[in-house]
Amino acid sequence: PCARVRCHRLHCSIVAKAAALGLVHSCASPSRPQLGMQFITSGHLLLSRYPIRRHHWQYFKHQATIEQFLCSRGSIYAELTLPDGSPLHVSSCHTTSGTDVLVEAMHLQHTRLHRGGNPTALQEVREWAEQVKCQLAASSPHASTLTKARPAVIMCGDLNITPHDHEYKGACAAL
């Protein structure tokens, strides 16, 4: 079967196994069928034992060109409903690894240390932080005043920025 079918089967298998463990709610990143060459999703899958009140996917505007056709990077956001009715906001992203991965795979002498980091990933982290802020602003009106003042938020992911990269401080400031 094609890569898209294999990816769908894997996704279904993971969701079924998670449900057996009590993680019966899920949302995932979509594929972009309008990009004919794109053959996998970005792989985001959020699993929860708590109901997902709403969710949102956002494609990053700034991506490494090759990745637009391979996996369409972005971030996923979900608002979960905890047993006491309060919301829990969860977001995950996987930023671009940039061209370094391709260059290093071809054994060229161009590494992140020579280039000075991953500026595309920093742009994506900034987009991600802005997306979460927008989603929090649109949060359910059912949330309590205290919760709205200080919402419970979990942000996680693979930022592809290390403490040695020039972009590290900028990523920390954005979050």
- What strands, in cross-sheet order, belong to the sheet with 52-59? 52-59, 74-81, 87-94, 153-158
Token readout for 12 is 């279904």
More confident call, 131 vs 44:
131
Torsion of Cα atoms, 172 then 140 then 149 then 59, to 10°: 10
Round to whole Å and give the CA distance between 101 and 124: 17
Q: Which residues contact 104 (CB under 8 A, 6 or more apart)?
A: 110, 111
Residues 86-105: tens digit of each pLDDT: 999 999 998 887 655 555 55
Q: Among 170, 164, 168, 158, which Cα is nearest to 74's?
A: 158
As a whole number, mean pLDDT of residues 109-132 equals 76
Look at residue 1 in the predicted model and tell me its pLDDT: 52
Tell me the percentage of the chain whose pLDDT exceeds 90: 38
pLDDT of residue 154: 95
Partners of residue 45 on adjacent β-strands: 28
* 115 pLDDT higher than 60: no
Q: Supply the pLDDT for residue 153.
A: 94
pTM of the model: 0.78
15-46 residue pLDDT tens: 999 999 999 999 988 766 555 444 556 678 89
